[in-house]
Structure 1
Amino acid sequence: MFTGIVQAYVSVAAIIEKPGLITFSLIFPDELRVGLQTGASVAVDGVCFTTLKVEHNQVSFDAMQETLQRTTIGLLKTGQFVNVERSFKIGDEVGGHLLSGHVHGMAEITSIDTSIPNNQVVTFKIPHPLTKYIFTKGFVALNGVSLTLVEVDKQNATFRVYFIPETLKRTTFGYKQVGDWVNIEIDSQTQAIVETVERILAEKDLNSTA
């Protein structure tokens, strides 16, 4: 489990392509490597990975074909930055919201507005089937960052997020541009509620026509 509070953004040191997967290595700062062992879970741009190897300042992971096709990990390039978060430990402060690291899809940045002082307003477009889980003042994780939604437009499958300077400084969103893609994980509680209500309504309709 993760909290959506990114601990650092780090660079991609190497990418090795293999049949059906890639092995990629990230340069971790000293404080993030403390206690990190093979088999530990780490969120990379919001995607949960199992640590493959820790060697000097580099940490390696395997990404299978399914992950490469469904997330931005398939777009990784050497030298680019990614957000990372070590897994949540009992007793840690939860500053964001609980995440699984299981991405539901990708969202495209369609506009970036910097006209408001000390704010950066970013518009994201998502796959239309995910719009039923998106609500104004609700929250999602974008590239592993827990964020609050504003100005949701379900018809056009878009929403906006206001980024404060601290978030831009501590995450890769300070580097993002229009046309970039990010991973989106919807809130699991919201998903459960929406799908439960849908099922109940569907059962009522079925019973009424029986």
Structure 2
Amino acid sequence: MFTGIVQGTAEVVAIQEAEAFRTHVVALPGSLGEELAIGASVAHNGVCLTATAIDGERVSFDLMRETLRVTNLGELAVGDRVNIERAARFGDEIGGHAMSGHIMAQAELVELDEAPNNRRLWFELPHALGRFLFAKGYIGVDGASLTIGEVRRATAEHGPRFCVDLIPETLHRTILGVRVPGDRVNIEIDPQTQAIVETVERVLETRGI
């Protein structure tokens, strides 16, 4: 389990390609790699990956075909950076919201509003996920637990959209501070929101509503 509190960013230092498979190596300095063991779970841009090899600060992670298809990790190149969160441990402070590290889709950054000391980002989601968007609800964006500011419902021209407002600390600690329109981010819908919406839909369906 993860909390969506990104602990820092890490650089991709090597990539090994295979058919429908990729191993990437990231540098995890200091506390990001402290006491890390093979088999440990580490979120990269919100994707739960397993450490498969450790050589000092260089840690390897395998990306399977489904991970490459659903997430933005397949677009990474050497020198790119990813948001990093180590798996939550019992007793840790839960400052964000419970996240599984299982990405549902990608969203495109379509609008950027810069203002002193904060940044508003508008993202467009696939149509099927619009029903999970609520103002002041939680959402995971590239592994960061964020609060939805506003929601724009889908139109004939575009899919559902939502915005998030980022404080300087989030901009400093994550890669969201360097995202530009056209970039694609990983999205994890808040599991509780997903469960409630799908349960209500099933109940209404059984009642013919």
Taking structure 2 as the reference length, the TM-score comes to 0.96
Aligned pair count reads 205
Q: What does 1:129-144 align with in structure 2 at a 5 Å threshold? A: 129-144=128-143
Matched to 1:150, the amino acid is G
| 1:80 and 2:83 are equivalent in the alignment | no
Aligned to 2:181: 178
Runs of 4+ off more than 3 Å: none
Of 160, 164, 188, the match for 2:163: 160
Of 169, 173, 177, the match for 2:172: 169
Unaligned stretches of 5+ residues in structure 2: none
Of structures 1 and 2, the larger Rg is shown by: 1
Aligned to 2:145: 146
Aligned to 1:12: 12
Q: What is the deviation of 1:139?
A: 0.9
Structure 1 Cα separation of the partners of residues 166 and 17 of structure 2: 34
What SS does structure 1 have at the residue aligned with 2:207?
Answer: helix
Q: What is the deviation of 1:93?
A: 0.2
Structure 2 Cα separation of the partners of residues 79 and 93 of structure 1: 32
What SS does structure 2 have at the residue aligned with 1:34?
Answer: coil
Unaligned stretches of 5+ residues in structure 1: none
Q: What does 1:60-75 align with in structure 2 at a 5 Å threshold? A: 60-75=60-75
Deviations along 1:27-64, one digit per CA (max 9) or x if unpaired, are 11122221100000000000000111111111110000
Structure 1 Cα separation of the partners of residues 102 and 124 of structure 2: 19
Structure 2 Cα separation of the partners of residues 180 and 161 of structure 1: 15
Aligned to 1:100: 100
Matched to 1:99, the amino acid is M
Q: What is the deviation of 1:20?
A: 2.0
Structure 2 Cα separation of the partners of residues 159 and 38 of structure 1: 37
Structure 2 Cα separation of the partners of residues 195 and 173 of structure 1: 30
Structure 2 Cα separation of the partners of residues 18 and 30 of structure 1: 30
Aligned to 1:119: 118
Deviations along 1:114-156, one digit per CA (max 9) or x if unpaired, are 1x32111110001110010110000100000000001101224
Taking structure 1 as the reference length, the TM-score comes to 0.96
Structure 2 Cα separation of the partners of residues 37 and 31 of structure 1: 13
RMSD after superposition: 1.0
Aligned to 1:54: 54
Structure 1 Cα separation of the partners of residues 108 and 34 of structure 2: 34
Structure 1 Cα separation of the partners of residues 174 and 42 of structure 2: 16
What SS does structure 2 have at the residue aligned with 1:78?
Answer: coil
Aligned to 2:198: 195
Aligned to 1:205: 208
What SS does structure 2 have at the residue aligned with 1:179?
Answer: coil
